[in-house]
Amino acid sequence: MKIILALYCALVWTIFTKINKAYSLNILGVFPYEGKSHFFVFETYLKELARKGHNVTVISYFPQNEPIKNYHDISLAGKLKILEEVFPIKRSYWTIIQIPIFVVNSGTQNCKTLLEDKNVQNLWKAKSKFDVVVTEQFNSDCSLGLAYALNAPVVGLTSHALVPWHFSRFGVPFNPSYVSFMLLNGGTKPTLYQRLERTIVDTYLRIIYKYFSQRVDQSTLAQYFNNIPPLEVLGRNIKFLLLYTHFVHFGSNLLPQNVIEVGGYHLKNSKQLPEDLRKFIEGSPHGVIYISFGSMLKAASMPRDKIDSILSALAELPQRIIWKWDEKTLPRNPKNIYLSNWLPQNDILAHPNVVAFYSHCGLLGTTEALYHGVPVLAMPIFGDQPANAAAVEESGLGVQIELKDITKESLLKKFKTILTPEFRAKVKSLSQAWLDRPTSAMETAVHWTEFAARYPNFTFRSAAADVPLYQYLCLDILCVLLGIPAVIMLIILTCHLNCNRKFKQSTGNKKTSKNE
Ligand SMILES: *[C@@H]1O[C@H](CO)[C@@H](O)[C@H](O)[C@H]1NC(C)=O
Ligand SMILES: *[C@@H]1O[C@H](CO)[C@@H](O)[C@H](O)[C@H]1NC(C)=O
C-alpha cells in the first residue's frame, strides 16, 4: 500500500513539474537606456513574468535591491549616470532640434556600453538559449542585433506613444492631418501650420535616426558579430509591440494587430501615505492640488515671472498644494504648500481628497491620474508631452496650458474649469471606461509575450511594412491612371493637329490650283 502511495505521489510530482516546465519560458529583457521613468514601467511587467514562473534575466541600470525568485539581474549600474533633472523648463524650436540629437546620442552610447559588458558578452559566448527577448523600443535598435545573435524572437515595449521612426516598421500609417505627433502641439486636429510643422519635424527625426543612430549602432554591432542584418530589417521582424497607450485616452488609431495597446500595466494598488502627508491632505477642507513636473525636468529652472504667476494663482485658490520641487524653499515662502523633492505620486493621486494634478504630462503621471480619476492641468514641455497633453484635453481628462501663456488669470481660469464638480464627475467616468477591459493591461502584455515565444516562426507584421514607399502612396497607380488618359489625349491631339494641317495644306493646294 505504502509503495503504491509513494509511486502515486512520484507520478503526480513528475506530471506537476512537467506542466510547470512546459509553461516556464527563458526570457531575456534588454533595457540599455538609463532613464529611470522608462524602466519603472517595464519593471512591473518583468516582475510579473517572473512571478508567473518564467526564468527572467534582465539587463538594465536598475538591479533589484532584494533578490526575487526567477528574476536575474545583469546590472549595468554605475556605467552611465542615471538621467534625472537634466532638462530646463523651456520650449522652443531649438529644443525640438536638440532633444532628438540628445536621444539618438544616448542610444548609440547605450549600445556601446551594453556590448562592452562582460556579463552581456557571456550570453552569446555561452550560446545561451532564450525563448523570447523583450526590449525597449525607443532610442536605439542595438538590442535587436543582440537578439538576432541569440536567435530569439523579439517583443518590443514602450513607455510612451509611437516614436516617429517606429511607424513605418510596423506599418502604422502616419498621416499628419489626423495622427497626433508626439513632439508638437495640435493632437488629432492640427491646423495647416501644425501639419506642415509636423511633416518637417517628422522627416528630420527619421533622417537623424537612420543616418546617425542606426548607422552607428550597426558598426558597433559589427565589432562583435558577423552578418547582423540591417537594423531596420530586424525592426520589421519584431513580433509584437506592446504600446503604452490606450484608446480611451488617445482616441482610436489605426494599429495593426501586432501593435497592442497595454497602457496602464505599471499601476499597482496604492500604499499608505507617510503620516505628515496624510495629515496635510486630510486637513484640507477644499481638497488638495498636486503639482509635479516629473523626474527629467528641473522645476526650479522655470522662468521667475512664471513661478510668480503660478504662486499668485495658487494663493487665490482655497485648496492646499503639494508640489514636487527640487529646492528647499519657494520664492515668497507660501504657507499652504507642502514641498518635497520626492513624493509617492501614485499614493497621493489615489487619495480621494486630491482634486487636481498640475503636470508636465509625462505618460506615467498622466496614466496614474487617469487611473485614479484626477483631473489634469497639462503644461507640456518636451518629448512626448505635447501629444499626451493634447490627448488629455481631447479625451476630457483635463485642459492644457502653454508655458508661454501662463499668467495668474489664465491659470486661475484653467484651474476653475477642472475643479468644477461636473468636470470631476466626467473624469471619474472616463477613468472607469479606461479600466473596463476584457483582460487587464498586464494580462494582455504577458499573453502576447508568451504567444511570441510559443510561435517564433510566425510573423504578424502588417503588409504595409513591406511595401515600397511609392506603392504605399499609390504613386504608381496614379501614374498609370493619369498617364494612360494623358497619353491617349496626347495622341488624339497630335493626330488632330496633323490632320488639320494636312487638311489646310490640301485645301490650300486646291485653292492655289484653282487660282492658276
Ligand atoms: C535562468 O536564468 C539564469 C540567468 O540567466 C540562468 O543561469 C539559468 O540557467 C536559467 N535557468 C533555466 C532553467 O534555464
Ligand atoms: C521553427 O523553425 C525551426 C527551423 O525551421 C524549427 O527547428 C523549430 O522547431 C520551429 N519551431 C516551432 C515552435 O515550430
* pLDDT tens, N- to C-terminus, the chain (516 residues): 666 666 665 665 655 555 555 579 999 999 999 988 899 999 999 999 999 999 999 999 999 999 999 999 999 999 887 776 667 777 788 888 888 899 999 999 999 999 999 999 999 999 999 999 999 999 999 999 999 999 999 999 999 999 999 999 999 999 999 999 999 999 999 999 999 999 999 999 999 999 999 999 999 999 999 999 999 999 999 999 999 999 999 999 999 999 999 999 999 888 899 999 999 999 999 999 999 988 777 777 788 889 899 999 999 999 999 999 888 788 777 888 999 988 999 999 999 999 999 999 999 999 999 999 999 999 998 889 999 999 999 999 999 999 999 999 999 999 999 999 999 999 999 999 999 999 999 999 999 999 999 999 998 999 999 999 899 999 999 999 998 989 999 999 998 888 877 777 776 666 555 555
By most ligand atoms within 8 Å of CB, the mutation choice from 239, 457, 458 for ligand 2 is 457
Instruction: Classify residue 292 by burial, with Cβ atoms within 10 Å: 0-12, 13-18, 19+.
Output: buried
Is residue 57 in contact with ligand 1, taking CB distance under 6 Å?
A: yes
By most ligand atoms within 8 Å of CB, the mutation choice from 28, 54, 72 for ligand 1 is 72
Q: Given this model, what pLDDT does residue 299 score?
A: 73
467 C-alpha to ligand 2 centroid (Å): 27
Q: Does an H or E element contain 398, and which?
A: strand 398-400
List residues near ligand 2 (CB under 6 A).
456-457
Give the DSSP letter of residue 210.
Answer: I
Q: Given this model, what pLDDT does residue 37 score?
A: 87
By most ligand atoms within 8 Å of CB, the mutation choice from 24, 25, 46, 57 for ligand 1 is 57
C-alpha span between 274 and 338 (Å, rounded): 13
Q: Given this model, what pLDDT does residue 513 score?
A: 57
Q: Given this model, what pLDDT does residue 498 score?
A: 84
Q: Which ligand is nearest to the CA of 55?
A: 1
Is residue 55 in contact with ligand 1, taking CB distance under 6 Å?
A: yes
What are the counts of helices (DSSP H) followed by strands (DSSP E) for the chain?
20, 15
What is the atom index within ligand 2 of the atom nearest the CA of 456? Answer: 13
455 C-alpha to ligand 2 centroid (Å): 9
C-alpha 48 chain-centroid distance: 21
The cell for 499 is: 490632320
C-alpha span between 460 and 100 (Å, rounded): 30
